[in-house]
Protein backbone atom coordinates (compact mmCIF):
# COMPACT_ATOMS: atom_id res chain seq x y z
CA UNK A 1 0.00 0.00 0.00
CA UNK A 2 1.77 3.15 -1.22
CA UNK A 3 1.32 6.62 0.21
CA UNK A 4 -0.68 9.22 -1.68
CA UNK A 5 0.79 12.71 -1.95
CA UNK A 6 -2.12 14.69 -0.57
CA UNK A 7 -0.13 17.94 -0.55
CA UNK A 8 -1.21 18.71 -4.10
CA UNK A 9 -4.37 16.62 -4.27
CA UNK A 10 -6.22 19.64 -2.88
CA UNK A 11 -5.72 21.19 -6.31
CA UNK A 12 -8.07 18.60 -7.78
CA UNK A 13 -10.80 19.90 -5.47
CA UNK A 14 -10.38 23.33 -7.04
CA UNK A 15 -10.45 21.81 -10.53
CA UNK A 16 -13.81 20.28 -9.61
CA UNK A 17 -15.01 23.58 -8.15
CA UNK A 18 -14.15 25.41 -11.38
CA UNK A 19 -16.16 23.04 -13.58
CA UNK A 20 -19.02 22.68 -11.08
CA UNK A 21 -19.55 26.41 -11.62
CA UNK A 22 -20.79 25.62 -15.15
CA UNK A 23 -24.05 24.26 -13.71
CA UNK A 24 -27.20 26.23 -13.02
CA UNK A 25 -26.70 25.99 -9.25
CA UNK A 26 -25.68 29.51 -8.11
CA UNK A 27 -24.00 28.08 -5.00
CA UNK A 28 -21.37 26.34 -7.14
CA UNK A 29 -20.50 29.62 -8.84
CA UNK A 30 -19.96 31.37 -5.53
CA UNK A 31 -17.82 28.45 -4.33
CA UNK A 32 -15.61 28.71 -7.41
CA UNK A 33 -15.22 32.46 -6.98
CA UNK A 34 -14.45 32.22 -3.26
CA UNK A 35 -11.81 29.54 -3.81
CA UNK A 36 -10.27 31.23 -6.90
CA UNK A 37 -10.71 27.85 -8.59
CA UNK A 38 -10.26 28.99 -12.19
CA UNK A 39 -6.58 29.84 -11.70
CA UNK A 40 -5.78 26.41 -10.27
CA UNK A 41 -7.83 24.67 -12.98
CA UNK A 42 -5.55 26.12 -15.67
CA UNK A 43 -2.64 24.07 -14.29
CA UNK A 44 -4.33 20.86 -15.48
CA UNK A 45 -4.45 21.75 -19.17
CA UNK A 46 -1.77 22.09 -21.83
CA UNK A 47 -3.74 24.69 -23.74
CA UNK A 48 -6.75 26.96 -23.58
CA UNK A 49 -8.27 24.75 -26.26
CA UNK A 50 -8.03 21.65 -24.07
CA UNK A 51 -9.63 23.54 -21.20
CA UNK A 52 -12.48 24.72 -23.40
CA UNK A 53 -13.04 21.21 -24.75
CA UNK A 54 -13.16 19.93 -21.16
CA UNK A 55 -16.04 22.34 -20.55
CA UNK A 56 -18.11 20.27 -22.99
CA UNK A 57 -17.95 17.09 -20.88
CA UNK A 58 -16.41 17.55 -17.42
CA UNK A 59 -19.25 19.69 -15.95
CA UNK A 60 -21.69 17.09 -17.25
CA UNK A 61 -19.81 14.20 -15.61
CA UNK A 62 -19.52 16.08 -12.31
CA UNK A 63 -23.20 17.05 -12.33
CA UNK A 64 -24.24 13.44 -12.92
CA UNK A 65 -22.26 12.06 -10.01
CA UNK A 66 -22.94 14.96 -7.60
CA UNK A 67 -26.64 15.42 -8.24
CA UNK A 68 -27.35 11.71 -8.56
CA UNK A 69 -25.50 10.81 -5.36
CA UNK A 70 -27.23 13.65 -3.50
CA UNK A 71 -30.60 12.16 -4.46
CA UNK A 72 -29.52 8.78 -3.07
CA UNK A 73 -28.44 10.45 0.19
CA UNK A 74 -31.83 12.17 0.36
CA UNK A 75 -33.52 8.79 -0.12
CA UNK A 76 -31.54 7.41 2.83
CA UNK A 77 -32.46 10.42 4.98
CA UNK A 78 -36.13 9.96 4.08
CA UNK A 79 -35.82 6.38 5.34
CA UNK A 80 -34.36 7.44 8.69
CA UNK A 81 -30.65 8.24 8.32
CA UNK A 82 -29.79 10.99 10.81
CA UNK A 83 -26.02 11.37 10.33
CA UNK A 84 -23.90 11.64 7.18
CA UNK A 85 -20.12 11.85 6.86
CA UNK A 86 -18.73 13.01 3.51
CA UNK A 87 -15.17 11.84 2.85
CA UNK A 88 -12.75 14.06 0.90
CA UNK A 89 -15.38 16.70 0.21
CA UNK A 90 -12.92 19.33 -1.00
CA UNK A 91 -14.87 22.55 -1.40
CA UNK A 92 -17.99 20.85 -2.82
CA UNK A 93 -20.24 21.91 0.02
CA UNK A 94 -23.52 22.16 -1.89
CA UNK A 95 -24.68 18.67 -0.87
CA UNK A 96 -23.94 19.40 2.78
CA UNK A 97 -25.85 22.67 2.57
CA UNK A 98 -28.87 20.93 1.07
CA UNK A 99 -29.00 17.93 3.39
CA UNK A 100 -28.27 19.92 6.57
CA UNK A 101 -31.30 22.13 5.94
CA UNK A 102 -33.02 19.45 7.99
CA UNK A 103 -31.93 20.30 11.58
CA UNK A 104 -32.46 16.66 12.57
CA UNK A 105 -29.67 15.50 10.25
CA UNK A 106 -26.06 15.82 11.47
CA UNK A 107 -23.70 16.31 8.50
CA UNK A 108 -19.91 16.27 8.62
CA UNK A 109 -17.69 17.51 5.78
CA UNK A 110 -14.21 16.00 5.91
CA UNK A 111 -10.98 16.32 4.01
CA UNK A 112 -7.35 15.35 4.50
CA UNK A 113 -6.19 18.87 3.61
CA UNK A 114 -6.35 21.40 6.51
CA UNK A 115 -6.58 24.35 4.12
CA UNK A 116 -9.59 22.85 2.34
CA UNK A 117 -11.37 22.22 5.64
CA UNK A 118 -10.80 25.87 6.58
CA UNK A 119 -12.09 26.90 3.14
CA UNK A 120 -15.22 24.75 3.62
CA UNK A 121 -15.96 26.61 6.83
CA UNK A 122 -15.45 30.02 5.24
CA UNK A 123 -17.58 29.24 2.19
CA UNK A 124 -20.49 27.93 4.26
CA UNK A 125 -20.25 30.90 6.61
CA UNK A 126 -20.46 33.32 3.67
CA UNK A 127 -23.24 31.35 2.00
CA UNK A 128 -25.46 31.19 5.08
CA UNK A 129 -24.30 34.20 7.05
CA UNK A 130 -23.76 31.82 9.97
CA UNK A 131 -22.58 28.28 10.72
CA UNK A 132 -25.16 25.54 11.29
CA UNK A 133 -24.98 23.62 14.53
CA UNK A 134 -25.69 20.37 12.69
CA UNK A 135 -22.89 20.89 10.13
CA UNK A 136 -19.31 20.04 11.13
CA UNK A 137 -15.92 20.26 9.42
CA UNK A 138 -13.28 17.64 10.21
CA UNK A 139 -9.73 17.10 8.96
CA UNK A 140 -9.09 13.33 8.77
CA UNK A 141 -7.29 10.66 6.80
CA UNK A 142 -10.03 8.38 5.45
CA UNK A 143 -7.66 5.39 5.61
CA UNK A 144 -6.60 5.91 9.23
CA UNK A 145 -8.63 3.80 11.65
CA UNK A 146 -7.78 5.97 14.66
CA UNK A 147 -8.92 9.16 12.95
CA UNK A 148 -12.11 7.46 11.80
CA UNK A 149 -12.81 6.43 15.40
CA UNK A 150 -12.58 10.14 16.22
CA UNK A 151 -15.54 10.65 13.87
CA UNK A 152 -17.47 8.14 15.96
CA UNK A 153 -16.81 10.25 19.04
CA UNK A 154 -18.52 13.16 17.30
CA UNK A 155 -21.19 11.40 15.21
CA UNK A 156 -21.74 8.08 16.95
CA UNK A 157 -21.45 4.95 14.82
CA UNK A 158 -24.83 5.11 13.10
CA UNK A 159 -23.94 7.28 10.12
CA UNK A 160 -23.89 6.94 6.35
CA UNK A 161 -20.59 7.58 4.61
CA UNK A 162 -20.49 9.41 1.26
CA UNK A 163 -17.38 9.26 -0.91
CA UNK A 164 -17.24 10.86 -4.34
CA UNK A 165 -14.19 11.35 -6.54
CA UNK A 166 -11.68 10.10 -3.95
CA UNK A 167 -11.28 6.33 -4.33
CA UNK A 168 -9.84 6.49 -7.88
CA UNK A 169 -6.69 7.82 -6.21
CA UNK A 170 -6.49 4.72 -3.97
CA UNK A 171 -4.59 1.62 -5.04
CA UNK A 172 -6.29 -1.74 -4.45
CA UNK A 173 -4.73 -2.20 -1.00
CA UNK A 174 -6.01 1.24 0.02
CA UNK A 175 -9.47 0.50 -1.33
CA UNK A 176 -9.61 -2.68 0.77
CA UNK A 177 -8.35 -0.75 3.79
CA UNK A 178 -11.09 1.85 3.29
CA UNK A 179 -13.70 -0.91 3.53
CA UNK A 180 -11.96 -2.45 6.55
CA UNK A 181 -11.94 0.89 8.39
CA UNK A 182 -15.59 1.46 7.44
CA UNK A 183 -16.55 -1.94 8.82
CA UNK A 184 -14.78 -1.18 12.11
CA UNK A 185 -16.37 2.24 12.62
CA UNK A 186 -19.93 1.91 11.29
CA UNK A 187 -23.03 0.32 12.81
CA UNK A 188 -25.17 -2.36 11.16
CA UNK A 189 -27.68 -0.70 8.85
CA UNK A 190 -25.36 2.22 8.08
CA UNK A 191 -24.33 2.59 4.44
CA UNK A 192 -21.42 3.60 2.26
CA UNK A 193 -22.67 5.52 -0.78
CA UNK A 194 -20.22 6.10 -3.63
CA UNK A 195 -19.92 6.78 -7.34
CA UNK A 196 -16.25 5.74 -7.26
CA UNK A 197 -16.69 2.51 -9.20
CA UNK A 198 -14.74 3.23 -12.38
CA UNK A 199 -13.63 0.09 -14.23
CA UNK A 200 -10.89 -0.33 -16.82
CA UNK A 201 -13.37 -1.22 -19.61
CA UNK A 202 -15.51 1.80 -18.73
CA UNK A 203 -12.46 4.04 -18.68
CA UNK A 204 -11.35 2.75 -22.08
CA UNK A 205 -14.83 3.55 -23.41
CA UNK A 206 -14.79 7.10 -21.99
CA UNK A 207 -11.29 7.85 -23.30
CA UNK A 208 -11.77 6.40 -26.79
CA UNK A 209 -10.61 8.90 -29.41
CA UNK A 210 -10.38 11.61 -26.74
CA UNK A 211 -6.65 12.48 -26.35
CA UNK A 212 -7.28 15.60 -24.24
CA UNK A 213 -9.20 13.50 -21.70
CA UNK A 214 -6.29 11.09 -21.48
CA UNK A 215 -3.89 14.00 -20.92
CA UNK A 216 -6.08 15.31 -18.08
CA UNK A 217 -6.17 11.87 -16.47
CA UNK A 218 -2.38 11.67 -16.68
CA UNK A 219 -2.08 15.05 -14.94
CA UNK A 220 -4.49 13.98 -12.20
CA UNK A 221 -2.43 10.83 -11.73
CA UNK A 222 0.75 12.87 -11.53
CA UNK A 223 -0.73 15.11 -8.83
CA UNK A 224 -1.44 12.17 -6.52
CA UNK A 225 1.46 9.93 -7.53
CA UNK A 226 -1.04 7.16 -8.33
CA UNK A 227 -2.14 6.05 -11.78
CA UNK A 228 -5.91 6.37 -11.97
CA UNK A 229 -5.85 4.04 -14.97
CA UNK A 230 -3.96 1.28 -13.16
CA UNK A 231 -6.10 1.72 -10.03
CA UNK A 232 -9.39 1.32 -11.88
CA UNK A 233 -11.36 -1.83 -11.08
CA UNK A 234 -10.96 -4.83 -13.38
CA UNK A 235 -14.72 -5.15 -13.87
CA UNK A 236 -17.99 -4.03 -12.28
CA UNK A 237 -18.11 -7.02 -9.94
CA UNK A 238 -14.84 -6.13 -8.20
CA UNK A 239 -16.14 -3.17 -6.11
CA UNK A 240 -19.22 -5.19 -5.15
CA UNK A 241 -17.11 -8.12 -3.98
CA UNK A 242 -14.71 -5.85 -2.09
CA UNK A 243 -17.62 -4.36 -0.13
CA UNK A 244 -19.21 -7.75 0.48
CA UNK A 245 -15.96 -9.26 1.74
CA UNK A 246 -15.80 -6.44 4.29
CA UNK A 247 -19.24 -7.33 5.64
CA UNK A 248 -21.51 -5.08 3.59
CA UNK A 249 -24.57 -5.98 1.54
CA UNK A 250 -23.80 -4.19 -1.74
CA UNK A 251 -25.73 -3.38 -4.90
CA UNK A 252 -25.79 -0.78 -7.67
CA UNK A 253 -28.41 1.94 -8.06
CA UNK A 254 -28.90 4.11 -11.16
CA UNK A 255 -28.24 7.79 -10.57
CA UNK A 256 -31.13 9.09 -12.64
CA UNK A 257 -33.68 6.42 -13.42
CA UNK A 258 -37.00 7.12 -11.69
CA UNK A 259 -35.65 10.10 -9.76
CA UNK A 260 -37.89 12.74 -11.28
CA UNK A 261 -35.46 14.71 -13.43
CA UNK A 262 -33.70 14.31 -16.74
CA UNK A 263 -30.12 14.69 -17.83
CA UNK A 264 -30.42 17.01 -20.81
CA UNK A 265 -28.53 19.93 -22.26
CA UNK A 266 -29.10 22.74 -21.49
CA UNK A 267 -31.51 21.43 -18.84
CA UNK A 268 -28.78 20.90 -16.27
CA UNK A 269 -25.63 22.25 -17.87
CA UNK A 270 -25.53 25.87 -18.91
CA UNK A 271 -23.64 26.39 -22.15
CA UNK A 272 -20.61 28.63 -21.67
CA UNK A 273 -19.01 30.27 -24.73
CA UNK A 274 -21.23 28.16 -26.94
CA UNK A 275 -19.79 24.84 -25.71
CA UNK A 276 -22.39 22.15 -25.11
CA UNK A 277 -22.17 18.47 -24.17
CA UNK A 278 -22.54 16.11 -27.12
CA UNK A 279 -25.47 13.68 -27.29
CA UNK A 280 -22.89 10.88 -27.06
CA UNK A 281 -21.53 12.19 -23.75
CA UNK A 282 -25.02 12.72 -22.39
CA UNK A 283 -25.72 9.07 -23.18
CA UNK A 284 -22.37 7.94 -21.71
CA UNK A 285 -22.69 9.73 -18.40
CA UNK A 286 -26.42 9.22 -17.88
CA UNK A 287 -25.72 5.50 -17.58
CA UNK A 288 -23.69 5.97 -14.40
CA UNK A 289 -24.58 4.16 -11.21
CA UNK A 290 -23.74 4.37 -7.54
CA UNK A 291 -22.62 1.64 -5.20
CA UNK A 292 -24.84 1.36 -2.11
CA UNK A 293 -23.30 -0.85 0.56
CA UNK A 294 -25.20 -1.43 3.81
CA UNK A 295 -23.31 -2.91 6.75
CA UNK A 296 -24.69 -6.25 7.87
45-82 residue pLDDT tens: 988 888 888 888 888 888 888 888 999 999 999 999 99
Q: Is the pLDDT of residue 274 over 60?
A: no
Confidence of residue 270 (pLDDT cuts 50, 70, 90): low
Fold annotation for 6-295:
Rossmann fold (3.40.50)
User: What confidence score (pLDDT) does residue 135 get?
Assistant: 94
Most confident of 156-160, 174-178, 263-267: 174-178
User: What confidence score (pLDDT) does residue 2 get?
Assistant: 45
Name, in order, each residue with C-beta under 8 angstroms of 152's C-beta and a sequence gap of 6 or more. Answer: 185
Q: Cα–Cα distance between 66 and 123 in angstroms, integer?
A: 18
| Domain limits, the chain | 6-295
Q: Is the pLDDT of residue 158 over 60?
A: yes
Residue 254, Cβ density class (10 Å: 0-12 exposed, 13-18 middle, ≥19 buried): middle
Q: Cα–Cα distance between 51 and 42 in angstroms, integer?
A: 7
Q: Cα–Cα distance between 277 and 53 in angstroms, integer?
A: 10
Q: Per-residue pLDDT averaged across 271-281, rounded? A: 65
Q: Per-residue pLDDT averaged across 256-283, rounded? A: 59
Q: Cα–Cα distance between 271 and 284 in angstroms, integer?
A: 19
Q: Is the pLDDT of residue 265 over 50?
A: no
Q: Is the pLDDT of residue 8 over 60?
A: no
Name, in order, each residue with C-beta under 8 angstroms of 28's C-beta and a sequence gap of 6 or more. Answer: 17, 20, 21, 94
Q: Is the pTM of this model over 0.85?
A: yes
Q: What is the pLDDT of residues 115-151, one digit of tens each?
A: 888 888 888 888 888 889 999 998 888 888 888 887 8
Residue with more model confidence, 247 or 31: 247
Amino acid sequence: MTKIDFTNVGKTALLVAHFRAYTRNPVTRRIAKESNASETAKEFFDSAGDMKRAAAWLPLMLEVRTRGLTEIVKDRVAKGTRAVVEIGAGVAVERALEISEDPEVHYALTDYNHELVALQTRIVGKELGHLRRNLDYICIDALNAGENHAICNLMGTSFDKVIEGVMPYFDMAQKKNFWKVSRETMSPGSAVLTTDILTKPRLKFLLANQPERYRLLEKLSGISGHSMIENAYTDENEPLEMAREAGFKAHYEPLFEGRGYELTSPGIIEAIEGVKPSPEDIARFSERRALVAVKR
